[in-house]
Structure formats: C-alpha cells, structure tokens
C-alpha cells in the first residue's frame, strides 16, 4: 500500500490485508485464480479491489499518477430516529466506521435526545465527525448536504403485534420524513428501516413521486437483517459438517420482502467460499513457480451447502419468523434492535463502498457493459416488478448513484418447496405494497 501511494488505503489492518490480497490477485497469476472468488464476494473489499485492478491493469500502465491522486469520497450520513432502540446502537456502530475507503460524517436527528447520543458518540476514538439535531425545527439542518439517509424512526413491535399493527403510527412518521428528505436532500440514497418495510418503502416512493423527485435507484428498504440471520443460522447448523465455514462466507439469495412469509431464503442455492489447504508437500516449501505449475494447490473454493429435507422447512420458517423470536424473548422490552443496527451498518457500508467504487472510476465506459465482479452489493427491497409485485427484495449492485443493477432470478431455478413459498409470498407482498400506496393517496398534503 505504501509503494502504491494510494491514500484511501491507510488505516485499519483489515483493509490493508484486503489490499494485499487484491494486489496479489491482480499482480500474480498463481494467486489470481485462487483468490478471485474470495476477494470479490464481499463489498467490504470492493474499494481495495478497485484500486488494485486499476493499478495493476496493463490497460492503465500510464495511470499511476491517477491512482496515486485518488482521494476517498466524503459520505455524510443522516440517522433519523437516532434516539430510539435501533437508532442509538446504529449511531454507535456508524461512529466507528472504517474510514480508509471513505471519510464519514454523522448527522443524528430525533424529536429529542439526538444531541445527547451525538455527544456520547463524539467521544469515541475515531475520525468520524458526529453532530446532533433535536426537534422538527432542526431537521432541515440535519439533512443539509447528506448523501445517505437511514430511517429507523418509529415504534417497535411488542409481543403479539405484527408489523402491520405498527402501520398507522410508522406510516405517518415515514411519510413526513420522506417529505423532508425529498425537499432538503433529494439526491441522497435513502434506507428505510422503519417497519413494516414492505409498506413503508412504497410510502416513501409515493411521497417522492408527488414531489417530482423520485429515483428508484435511491429508495431502498433495509432488509439485510434477513441475510444476516440466514448466514448465522446456516453457520450454526452446518459448522460441524462444512470445513472452514464462516458466517460471512455463506451466500444465498434472500428475496421477497421483510416480514413473515414474504421472506424467502433460497436454500437450494446456498454456498460458501472456504479456505482449503495446500496439497502435497508442506506449504512452506512452495514458491510462486511451484504454485503456478501444480494442480494440487486449491486455495479458496466455493462449495454448495446441502440440506436434508428435514432441515429445509424448519430453517426457512426460523429465518422468516426470527423477528418474532426476539420480540418474544425480550418479553415486551423491545424488538430486534441490536441485530437490526448491525445489519443497517452493513447496509450503510455497502452504499459507501458503492460511492468509493465509482469515485475511483470503476464504472463502465460509454458503450461498455458493466462488469459486476467485485462491485459492492446488498440485498434490499426496491421498486422491482420481476414477480409482479411492484416492489421486491433482491441482490442490488451499487455504485455512486445507489442501485446500479438488480439481480434477476428465475422461478424455474428454485426448488419445488421454494416455488410454493413464493406463491405464498406474492399475494401478501401485493397487499402490503397497495396498503402503503393507498396511505399516501389518502393522507399526503
């Protein structure tokens, strides 16, 4: 990293390691193939990959100065509802963001209490700038120059409540905050956390449409918690049978929506990238020439994760009902606030990586097709009519403008069990979307 002179690679060892791996991938043929999958699967290493691709590319041999002059983008994040059960831990996690790929500033807002949260977070030993804003009269200032908005504002679920029970209260909150965002930061990416997401995202979108600034690339429902849960539950189930398995290396589509039967994990496509051992002689005796010639070096490999028939239905139902599991366990003291904050922080990091990815000029040139390999991605609930529901959660590839491309899945690629679950999900999703749209039609002023 020091040799390359790229300023975005200073800081934490995780990014330096990612950079070295990425450099090895693009500079050294023996390592390139074995690291190709591992390095590009995670949006966490997208920025180092982008830097190294440009630096080591033979097409850019004369662009060393351009790489050296790269500066990370500045991302200003607003958390609306920063004083709440999700907002506080989310603000904490965001205040510790790794700023080696993008500098960050936090704008924490709530009706009351956000200034206290900001004061607390501003004492953390990080470079993230944190400011607090309380009350509706300060909302405009909180949104000034923001390019990523996260909205956890709203009331939490209690035992016996469904996400639909939250609708009347949270719908008004989201619509009013969406109005403010559309007015004061219309080009910002907006991540909706407030439940029921299946309805609050259409509420935000319809609000933007009425203010003539809707961009489907920028209004996203944060449903990354469903992926986080699926990764953890699969790891817990398979860690003893899949060597080298780690939760973050589990990959599968988790699509549909963000409540109950609308959450559809496609377990038939679950796979994991694992670090396999060297074959043959002791690895310490190998050099680069040996590795280039020998087939027994396996490096990283992607393996399908297999499930018994008896495991599929219970695991699917647990992923679908995981939120209720937490609500019941907390016995009235709250909902899934901590895990949701973690998932929202991962969502924010992915969006920031998209901005860094574009800042380094990794987008396709005019007339070229975008190479999605190594492009930051996240599962999100967006305007998407692939299954006739207007909105649908799927894997979204991200760039500096928000969603660049939505991965298209074919029902024919699903198992018979998953196809039946999809049939259950679609009517519910359509009802949820219509409910959100009708709310705005009736209450927007």
Query: Is-catalytic flag, 10?
Result: no
Annotated catalytic residue: which of 184, 258, 353, 404? 258
Structure tokens at 84: 């709440």
pLDDT at 372: 80
**What is the DSSP annotation of 326-352?**
HHHHHTTS-SSHHHHHHHHHHHHHHHH
Percentage of the chain beyond pLDDT 90 is 64
Give the tens place of pLDDT for each residue, 97-141: 988 778 899 999 999 999 999 999 999 999 999 999 999 999 999
Neighbouring C-alpha atoms within 13 Å toward the C-beta of 427: 4
Q: Which two tokens stand for residue 439?
A: 């709310």
What is the pLDDT at residue 33?
A: 41
State the pLDDT at residue 10.
37
3-state DSSP percent of the chain in helix, strand and coil, to 5: 50, 15, 35
End-to-end CA distance of the chain: 54
pTM of the model: 0.83
Query: Distances from the Cα of 353 to the Cαs of 97, 213, 445, in angstroms?
Result: 12, 24, 36
Q: Minimum mean pLDDT among 6-15, 115-124, 144-153, 338-347: which range? A: 6-15
Q: What digits encode the pLDDT tens for the residues 374-400? A: 789 999 999 999 999 999 999 999 999
Confidence of residue 291 (pLDDT cuts 50, 70, 90): very low
Calculate the CA dihedral of residues 342, 344, 349, 354 and round it to 10 degrees.
Answer: 150
Closest CA to 29 of 328, 299, 363: 299
| Whole-number pLDDT of residue 235 | 96
């Amino acid at each position: 990293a020091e040799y390359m002179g790229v300023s975005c690679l200073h800081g934490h060892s995780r990014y330096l390691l990612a950079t070295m791996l990425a450099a090895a991938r693009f500079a050294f043929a023996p390592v390139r193939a074995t690291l190709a999958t591992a390095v590009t699967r995670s949006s966490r290493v997208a920025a180092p990959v982008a830097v190294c691709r440009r630096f080591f590319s033979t097409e850019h041999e004369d662009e060393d100065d351009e790489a050296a002059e790269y500066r990370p983008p500045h991302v200003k994040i607003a958390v609306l509802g920063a004083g709440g059960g999700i907002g506080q831990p989310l603000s904490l996690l965001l205040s510790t963001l790794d700023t080696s790929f993008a500098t960050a500033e936090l704008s924490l807002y709530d009706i009351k209490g956000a200034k206290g949260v900001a004061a607390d977070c501003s004492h953390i030993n990080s470079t993230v700038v944190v400011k607090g804003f309380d009350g509706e009269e300060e909302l405009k200032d909180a949104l000034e120059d923001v390019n990523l908005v996260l909205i956890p504002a709203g009331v939490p679920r209690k035992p016996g409540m469904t996400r639909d029970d939250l609708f009347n209260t949270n719908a008004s909150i989201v619509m009013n905050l969406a109005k403010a965002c559309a007015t004061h930061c219309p080009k910002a990416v907006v991540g909706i956390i407030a439940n029921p997401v299946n309805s609050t995202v259409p509420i935000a979108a319809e609000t933007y449409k009425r203010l003539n600034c809707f961009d489907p690339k920028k209004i996203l429902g944060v449903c990354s918690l469903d992926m986080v849960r699926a990764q953890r539950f699969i790891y817990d189930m398979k860690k003893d049978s899949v060597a080298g398995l780690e939760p973050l290396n589990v990959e599968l589509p988790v699509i549909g929506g963000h409540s109950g039967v609308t959450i559809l994990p496609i377990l038939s496509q679950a796979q994991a990238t694992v670090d396999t051992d060297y074959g043959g002689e002791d690895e310490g005796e190998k050099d680069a020439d040996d590795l280039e010639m020998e087939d027994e070096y396996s490096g990283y490999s992607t393996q399908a994760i297999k499930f018994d028939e008896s495991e599929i239905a219970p695991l699917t139902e647990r992923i679908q009902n995981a939120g209720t599991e937490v609500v019941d366990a907390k016995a009235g003291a709250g909902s899934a606030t901590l895990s949701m904050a973690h998932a929202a922080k991962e969502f924010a990091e992915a969006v920031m990586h998209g901005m860094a990815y574009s800042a380094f000029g990794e987008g396709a040139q005019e007339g070229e097709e975008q190479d999605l390999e190594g492009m930051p991605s996240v599962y999100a609930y967006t305007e998407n009519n692939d299954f006739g529901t207007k909105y649908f959660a799927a894997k979204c590839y991200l760039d500096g403008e928000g969603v660049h491309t939505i991965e298209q899945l074919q029902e024919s690629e699903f198992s018979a069990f998953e196809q039946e679950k999809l049939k259950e999900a679609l009517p519910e999703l359509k009802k949820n979307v219509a409910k959100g749209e009708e709310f705005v039609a009736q209450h927007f002023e």
